[in-house]
Amino acid sequence: MTLVKFFSALSFLFLRFLSIKASVHEYAGEKFIAKGNAFVFHGGSEGLYSSLPNKNASSTNGNGDSYIRFEEITFRRPKESATSSSSVVHAIVFEIEDREMIGGSAYGGQRAICCTSDLAKLGVCKGGGVIHRPSSQHPNWPQVFDISFNGDDPVTTLQPKSIQIKETGMYNLYFIHCDPNLKELVIEGKTVWKNPTGYLPGRMAPLMNFYGFMSLAYVILGIFWFSQYARFWKEVLQLQNCITLVIALGMFEMALWYFEYAEFNKTGVRPTWITIWAVTFGTVKHTVARVIILMVSMGYGVMRPTLGGLTSKVILLGGTFFLASEVLELVENVGVINDLSGKARLFLVLPVAILDAFFILWIFTSLSTTLNKLQARRMMAKLDIYRKFTNALAVSVIVSVGWICYELYFKSSDVYNERWQKAWIIPAFWQVLSFSLLCVICALWAPSHNSTR
């Protein structure tokens, strides 16, 4: 119970401190961070597709428009800092290919974001401002808005405005100031990022159709399985009941993910409870599937009616895997669109990876023992099924290792998310692989007139 309470508290804390909500980026008293000679706040990064043709450029509400909209953006400075009327905050929006247009260096020295005295002498920029140059590839970009404090007022506001997106790309928003007297400056308000088809970020948009397709695939598999189940219900084994549970969980998981993305696309905010349910159904499915494969590998339902003394160990491994996976998936999905930092993700991924490796090792060790017993007892029909099952598992493990290597290469070679339009393939692959393995298991252990034999 102590372990359960620990993970529950951990997941609750993570949910409480998630501040970015989907394509509506909210800022609630966020502080700026010192970066070199500047103070920076990252307002968001999203892949946006260009607006569809024949749309009024001033319209930001109709279908087919793609834009970034600033709403109620307010900056507050402490009273002791409200002595200078020259303090300016810059809002900078740029496409990732234009990242070199922000900042500069004099005589090949250290790169600076704010204008230095040496750069001002060269006429590159004006003292106290952010260094930026027009893009040669994207006219009128980067887009820079200056927000000044009026006299000794502690508050200033950026007037509502929208930026129409006319070219597909990965867009970034930063709020920057160069005044050391504004160290305690905070930002409030929100920005709304919209694609032509809705509020889903560009790298996530294809997943809505993918989950719709996977929902249909699970329905087709379910029709096949449940028809066989109904025909031979008197011959059904306990193992086949477990497979039925996995198929049902998969149906619910895919449907929930589809509706979660559809709602996200419609409103711009991830529906928290739908996401939690989708994550939980998925985690339960993955846990049950691993436990079933382990039980089958041990010969449960085929060579032995029970697991005997191993039952508690299998349940302990499955329960630990569920808790670790649930926390990881909640933190990665609930209310979040930006990727976790490397250290935070490693802290959560490592336990899941270790438990997965333990599952694989135990499964193949058990399979080897079961195959030897079947061969010694000359149970050729069961031996044939187990050999096919072993081959399917071996192929899935080899493919998984290969895909993990590709995923590491993909992420390490795409530091600035320039290949964001292909990023959806990474999570989609794992869903396809697990579904394929489930189909193989269903084919091998489908209910039939000789199931018990």
Angle at 289 between CA 283 and CA 294, to 5 degrees: 130
- 301, 237 contact by CB (below 8 A): yes
Instruction: Tell whether the model's pLDDT for residue 378 goes beyond 50.
Output: yes
What pTM value is reported for the model?
A: 0.83
Mean pLDDT of 81-102: 82
Domains and CATH numbers, the chain: 24-194 (2.60.120), 202-445 (1.20.1070)
Position 335 pLDDT exceeds 70:
no
Distance CA 165, CA 68 (A): 8
**Residue 20: its pLDDT value, please?**
38
Which runs of consecutive H residues, i.e. helices, occur in 45-172?
117-121
Q: Contact 7/184 with Cβ under 8 angstroms? A: no
99 falls in which pLDDT band (50, 70, 90)?
confident
285-306 CB burial, b ≥16 within 10 A, e <16: bbbbbbbbbbbbbbbbbbeeee
Look over the chain and give the mean of its residue pLDDT values, rounded to a whole number. 83
Cis peptide before 271 (omega within 30 of 0): no
Range in 272-286, 292-306, 308-322, 330-344 with the lowest mean pLDDT: 330-344
| Locus of tokens 């509400």 | 61
Average pLDDT over residues 402-425: 88
Confidence of residue 32 (pLDDT cuts 50, 70, 90): very high
Backbone angles phi, psi at 450, to 5 degrees: -120, 30
